[in-house]
Amino acid sequence: PIIERHGREPNRLLQILLDVQEAFHFIPPEAITCIAEDLGLPRVSVEGTASFYSFLSLKPAGEYRILFSDNITDQMLGNPELMRDFCNKLWLEPGKVSEDNRVSADHTSCTGMCDQGPAALVNGWPLTNLNQERLDLIGDLIRDRIPVSRWPSVLFEVKDNIRRAGVLLGEPLERGAAIRATLERGVDATLMEIKVSRLRGRGGAGFPTADKWTGCRDSPGLAHYLVCNADEGEPGTFKDRVLLNSYADLVFEGMTIGARVMGSVKGFLYLRGEYRYLLEKLEDILARRRAVGLLGRNILGEAGFDFDIEIHRGAGAYICGEESALIESLEGKRGRPRNRPPYPAAQGYLDQPTVMNNVETFACAARIAAHGGEWFARMGTRQSSGSKILSISGDCARPGIYEYPFGVSMHEILDDCDAEDPCAVQVGGPSGFLVSSKEFGRCISFEDLPTAGAITLFKRGRDILQAVQNFAHFFAHESCGFCTPCRVGTQLQKKILDKIANGHGTASDLEELKHLGHIMKTMSHCGLGHTAPNPVLDMLEKFPDACGQKLKNLVFEPAFDLDGALETARKITGRDDPWAHLP
């Protein structure tokens, strides 16, 4: 029935696997065989997809699978200790399922709840504000075999935490108003309004939206597709969660306008696996929009204006935020970045012209369609028009969502969220910039500090090396493994930082980190590898003491214990040449 429900469509392979995972708590081998036969795919392709995504498990993961977020803010809030105590109480070994196959506990990357951590997921549902008491309760619920659907709702409470609203999060827009304005104005004039607004993509790269839409519209193809990238996996960001929870109509409206401009009849919302809890709510909103003629055939009575949106779930792979990897994932494959060119605007989903924008970009497009491009362009700075929504977490009294016109200074942001004696800020998540207190006069904008929205604060006394080490572990875990500079580079970076943190680092390790960073930046295949060394290089430049104080006063200490590794062979052969030992 699961395969039937998805119309035996190979592109829906990932969605089928997610449903199997939910039903059985893992992907049994028989299910892989059955899916392969029914979809007409080689078994190895199905297994390849199933093994790529961290939320899919090929081995039994227990009736209750608890994944503790190991984002740096969750670490700072005590998640490692909470996880350790939880495992001790339930006699669990981290990463392994209990002997009775009932429960497992493991780590996962950021769950998008940094403003209300410590956080975790149970069978894909978010747990927030964890503490000892809540985890004791969870332990009791598991022991009593209470289904997750009957657990107290307070455990799953997710707040929006909007602390400062601007033009996007402020006055609500009447449902359908932006689409009506688009129909009145016409397609070319709407595209001109987007151009006049100088809207740039909010996913981080900042590509001009009007150029992207024009490129896709003008590319020949059998169909033009439109994708909303709601896979915000950058640790520290959670603003798309809030937009989808409370402003989904605005996002869907922006997608519908984009569809009108590009002549798309089909759009996708790629929802990150961690936000699976929003799925039913979003499906209801789509159904309501269909019921009032804002989606489906002849939208708002306009003959031939047909467009609908399908939601695809992600499954815990950060790399799927990269647009070509996301398209692979939409096609039911492993999320591996494609070679470019061709760019998705010319050859994307099913090799057809595809436009992909971030959730916030579509929300901006809806506002622009309703209020005009000039209105939008009046806000912000010369190269960065409009506003930016920031996800603020870490050492401050008021973590949450803040919307500012572009150009706001770090000083103003730190004041507003009551930052606690800040000494460093990670802007844009691990792939962004580590900013020191000397730079708090800098501004959020494409010309100074561009960001998709994550702002993580560190107070004086925080161990910056620990933060950067956390980021390095994140990249090593999330590298898709396709190209050597990133696959090997992220692992080496992680190992060297661990070595330094454990007190075995020397000056030569710092040189090695710089050299490695240069290779990764220049030779990796996609943005993940290009940006993975950013926090390490920033730390070495701006916080030299973070590592310096932990270094040994030696020129070099090997990370690999050569004598230890050779000991068994020496015993077996009875040969132990003195000159073959390191001094």
Contact of 351 with 357, CB cutoff 8 Å: no
Closer residue to ligand SF4, CB minimum distance, 195 or 530? 530
Stretch that binds ligand SF4, among 86-94, 220-228, 351-359, 521-529 (CB under 6 A): 521-529
Q: Tell me whether residue 269 or residue 483 sits nearer to ligand SF4 (CB atom).
A: 483
326 binds ligand SF4 (CB under 6 A): no
Shortest separation between residue 519's beta carbon and ligand SF4, angstroms = 12
Q: Which is nearer to ligand SF4, 122 or 476 (CB)?
A: 476
Can you tell me the distance from the alpha carbon of 546 to that of 566, in angstroms, rounded to the nearest whole number? 34
Cβ–Cβ < 8 Å for 65, 104 = yes
Cα separations in angstroms, 454 against 237, 242, 489: 4, 13, 24
Nearest one of 145, 1, 119 to 62, comparing CA atoms: 145
Per CB under 6 A, the segment of 18-26, 106-114, 198-206, 526-534 that binds ligand SF4 is 526-534
Minimum CB–partner distance for residue 18 and ligand SF4 (Å): 22
What number of chain residues touch ligand SF4 (CB under 6 A)? Answer: 14
Closest CA to 17 of 43, 40, 42, 47: 47
Backbone φ and ψ for 227, nearest 5 degrees, come out as: -130, 130
Report in angstroms how near the CB of residue 529 gets to ligand SF4 at its nearest.
3
Confirm or reject binding of residue 337 to ligand SF4 (CB under 6 A): yes
For ligand SF4, the binding residues in 189-248 under the rule CB under 6 A are none
Phi and psi of 411, rounded to 5°?
-55, -45
Buried b (16+ CB within 10 A) or exposed e, 328-340: bbbbbbbbbbbee
Does residue 479 belong to the site contacting ligand SF4 (CB under 6 A)? Answer: yes
Residue 135 binds to ligand SF4 (criterion: CB under 6 A):
no
Q: Report the DSSP beta bridge partners of residue 127.
A: 120
Q: Which helix (H) or strand (E) holds 67?
A: strand 64-69
Q: Which is nearer to ligand SF4, 190 or 490 (CB)?
A: 490
Output DSSP code: residue 302: -
Window of 167-175, 236-244, 481-489, 509-517 that interacts with ligand SF4 by CB under 6 A? 481-489
Using rule CB under 6 A, residue 529 touches ligand SF4: yes
The rounded distance, in Å, linking the Cα atoms of 331 and 338 is 13
Which phi and psi angles does 131 have, rounded to 5°?
-150, 180
Q: Which stretch binds ligand SF4 (CB under 6 A): 103-111, 149-157, 483-491, 510-518?
A: 483-491
Q: Are 116 and 400 in contact, with CB atoms under 8 Å apart?
A: no
Residues 485-514 that bind ligand SF4 (CB under 6 A): 486-487
Number of Cβ atoms within 10 Å of the Cβ of 371: 17
Q: Single out the segment in contact with ligand SF4 by CB under 6 A; choices: 63-71, 204-212, 475-483, 544-552.
A: 475-483
Task: Out of 256, 391, 456, 524, point to the residue binding ligand SF4 (CB under 6 A).
Answer: 524
Output 354 or 431, the one with its CB closest to ligand SF4. Answer: 431
Length of the chain counted residue by residue: 583
Nearer to ligand SF4, 102 or 521 (CB): 521
Q: Which is nearer to ligand SF4, 255 or 320 (CB)?
A: 320
When asked if residue 480 is in the footprint of ligand SF4 (CB under 6 A), the reply is: yes
Name the residue nearer to ligand SF4 (CB basis): 190 or 531.
Answer: 531
Which of 250/486 has CB closer to ligand SF4? 486
Distances from the Cα of 110 to the Cαs of 69, 117, 121, 130, 466, in angstroms? 5, 10, 10, 15, 16
CB of 321 to ligand SF4, least distance (A): 11
Exposure string over 299-319, b if 16+ CB within 10 A, otherwise e: beeeeebbbbbebbbbbbbbb
Q: In angstroms, what is the minimal distance from the CB of 458 to ligand SF4? A: 26
Q: How far is the CB of 311 from ligand SF4 (least distance, A)?
A: 25
The CA angle 91-97-101, to the nearest 5 degrees, is 95
The single residue among 528, 537, 546, 547 that binds ligand SF4, judged by CB under 6 A, is 528
Pick from 257, 319, 401, 444 the residue near ligand SF4 by CB under 6 A: 319
CB distance 431 to 532 below 8 Å: yes
Of residues 271, 526, 539, 546, which one binds ligand SF4 by CB under 6 A? 526
Of 224 and 338, nearer to ligand SF4 (C-beta) is 338
Residue 272: which region, alpha, beta or left (left: phi > 0; alpha: psi -120 to 50)? beta
Nearest distance in Å: CB 522, ligand SF4: 12
CB of 432 to ligand SF4, least distance (A): 17
CB of 490 to ligand SF4, least distance (A): 7
Concatenating the DSSP letter of every residue in 324-379 gives HHHHHHHTTS---PPPSSSPTTTS-GGGS-EEEEEHHHHHHHHHHHHH-HHHHHTS
Based on the shown chain and the rule CB under 6 A, indicate whether residue 483 belongs to the binding site for ligand SF4: yes
**Please, which of residues 246-285 interact with ligand SF4 by CB under 6 A?**
none
Tokens of 395: 């050492």
The C-alpha atoms of residue 199 and residue 189 are separated, in whole angstroms, by 15
Question: Of 104-112, 215-223, 260-268, 474-482, which segment contacts ligand SF4 by CB under 6 A?
Answer: 474-482
Scan for tokens 């809806």, then name that residue.
366
Neighbours of 236 (CB within 10 A): 30
Is residue 481 involved in binding ligand SF4 (CB under 6 A)?
yes
Listed ranges 196-204, 217-225, 355-363, 473-481: which one lies at the site for ligand SF4 (CB under 6 A): 473-481
Q: Which is nearer to ligand SF4, 63 or 328 (CB)?
A: 328
Min dist CB 480 to ligand SF4, Å, is 3
Which residue stretch of 39-47, 121-129, 146-154, 522-530 sits at the interface with ligand SF4 (rule: CB under 6 A)?
A: 522-530
Tokens at residue 459, please? 């107070």
Least distance CB 67 / ligand SF4 (angstroms)? 21
Residues lying near ligand SF4 in the complex (CB under 6 A) are found at: 319, 337, 479-483, 486-487, 524-526, 528-529
